[in-house]
Amino acid sequence: MKADLDYFLEELRRDFRVVGPKKKRSEHVFGDIHIVEDLDLEYVTTILPPKKLFFPPTENLFSFNSAGEAIPADIKAQRLLIFGIHSCDLNGLLLLDRVFENDYPYPRYVERRRNSVIVAMTCANLGDTCFCDSMGTGPEPKTGYDILLTDLGERFLVEVGTAEGSRLAGMMRSSEAEESDLQLKKKLLFEAKTKFKKRINTDGLAEIFEKNLDHPLWKRLADTDLACAQCVMSCPTCFCLDIRDQWSSVLGETVRCVEWDACFLLEFAEVALGGNFRKDRSARLRQFMGHNLSWGGIAQYGPVNGQHKCVGCGRCIRVCPVSIDITEVAREIRGG
C-alpha cells in the first residue's frame, strides 16, 4: 500500500542514505529524503541526473604532502539508495558503468556504484521533451534495478531484480500481486507510449550520421548556438572530465581535483601552442550530437543493449536557451 511508504522509507533509512526526487521551486532535484513528504514521485524529470551522486560535479582526488606524495581523498562511499529513478536515468547509469568500469576502473565511481541500491519507477509522467521510447531506454526499466515500483493508484506493484531487492522488498507490507495488477501496468505503459511528443528514428542513425559530417545544419545551428554547455551539464551520460591541480596559500594545501568538463567549450580540445582540433563551434556541436546519436553507443563501449549514448531524457532540449533540439537534429540529418 502506498500509505505504508512512510514506514518503508523509515526502514530503508536505517541502512541507507536515501536520495530521491524532491521539489525545488518549480523544478525537481535528486536530494536527501528524510521524511516521506520530501519525496515527490509525481516528478517528470530533475535538473541534474543522478549521475552527480556517483560522479560529482567536482571533487578532490588527492592532496599532496610536502614530499610530493599523493594522499587519496576520502571516497565517502556510504550505502546509498536511489528511490524513484526513472528508466532513462537508470540506463544513463548503466552506460556510465561501461565508461568508468573499463580496464582502468575509476575507483571513486565504482565504489559508490557498488554501494548503491536502485529502487526504480515505471515512468508514466512523460514530459514534453521525453523520447526514451525512441532510444529503447524506457518508459519501463528492463534491467539494472533492485526493486521496480509501478504506481497503480492506491498501491504499488513491486517487482524485484536482485537478491538485495528481494530482501528490502520483504520489509514492505505487501500481498501477492494478481494478474489484474500486471494487466494494469501493461495498460499504463501502453497509454504512456502514446503520449510521447518527441521521437527519434534510430534505424541506421549511426551510419547516417557518419555520412553527414559536412551537413549544412552544423554551420547553421552554430550561428545560434551559445556553446554554453548546459546540455552537457544536464546529460545523464556525458562523462567528460577535467583534472586540475589547485593550490591554496591559506590552507597550505595542494590538491588534484576532478570536475565535469564539456566538449562544447572552446578549450576542450586545445593543445599546447594554441592548436585546437575543434575550434569551430559547429565542430563542437557536431561532437556533442555525434557522441550522443552515433559513435557514443555500440561503436565506443560495446553493446549496451544495443543503445546509443543518448537515453532520451530530454534534459538537453529543456535547458537549451536557443531551442536546439536533438530530435530535430536527428530528423534533419536523416533528411526528414
Partner 1 sequence: MKDPYLSSIAEIVDVKRQSYDTKTYTICFLNDERRREFRATPGQFMMISVPGLGEAPFSLSSGPEKSDSFDTTIRAVGNVTGILDRYDVGARIGVRGPYGKGWPLEEAKGRDILIVAGGIGLAPLRPVLTTIQRNRNLFGNLEVLYGARTPADEMFVDEYEEWQRIEDTTLSLTVDSVPKGVTWPHRIGVVTTLFDDMRISPEDSIVMTCGPEIMMRFAARGLLARNFRRNQIYVSLERRMKCGMGHCGHCQIGPKFVCRDGPVFNYSDLEGLPDLAL
Q: Which stretches of the chain bind partner 1, using CB under 8 A?
A: 61-62, 64, 67-70, 72, 99-100, 102, 104-107, 110-111, 210, 213, 239-245, 247, 254, 256, 261, 263, 268-273, 275, 277-278, 283, 286-287, 290-291, 294-296, 299-300
* Calpha distance 245→265 (Å, rounded): 19
Distance CA 314, CA 65 (A): 44
Q: CA 314, CA 196: separation in Å to the nearest integer?
A: 11
Q: How far is the CB of 107 from partner 1 (least distance, A)?
A: 4
Pairing of strands 58-64, 116-121: unpaired
- Least CB distance from residue 44 to partner 1, whole Å? 28
Least Å from the CB of residue 310 to partner 1: 15
Q: Which is nearer to partner 1, 67 or 250 (CB)?
A: 67
Strand partners, 257: 60, 244
d(CA 259, CA 244): 8
In this complex, which beta carbon is closest to partner 1, that of residue 159 or of residue 261? 261
Sign for the pseudo-dihedral over CA of 51, 57, 63, 68: positive
User: Closest distance between partner 1 and the C-beta of residue 229, in Å?
Assistant: 13
Q: Which is nearer to partner 1, 148 or 333 (CB)?
A: 333
Contact 264, 284 (CB under 8 A): yes
CB of 219 to partner 1, least distance (A): 14
Nearer to partner 1, 155 or 215 (CB): 215
| Residue 271: count of CB within 10 angstroms of its CB | 8
Taking the least distance from each CB to partner 1, the nearer of 102 and 143 is 102
3 state SS of 194:
coil
Distance CA(164)–CA(146), nearest Å, equals 7
Closest separation in Å from C-beta 308 to partner 1: 12
Q: How far is the CB of 202 from partner 1 (least distance, A)?
A: 16
Grid coordinates given for 261: 568538463
Nearer to partner 1 by Cβ, of 30 and 239: the residue is 239
How far apart are alpha carbons 154 and 86 in whole angstroms? 20
Task: List, in order, residues 6 or more apart from 224 with CB less than 8 Å away.
Answer: 322, 324
CB-based burial of residue 74 (10 Å sphere; 0-12 exposed, 13-18 middle, 19+ buried)?
exposed
Cβ 158 to partner 1 shortest distance, Å: 33
Cell of 334: 536523416
Q: Which is nearer to partner 1, 168 or 316 (CB)?
A: 316
For 162, the grid coordinates are 536482485
Residue with cell 545560434: 224
Task: Give the residue with the Cβ less far from partner 1, 110 or 124.
Answer: 110
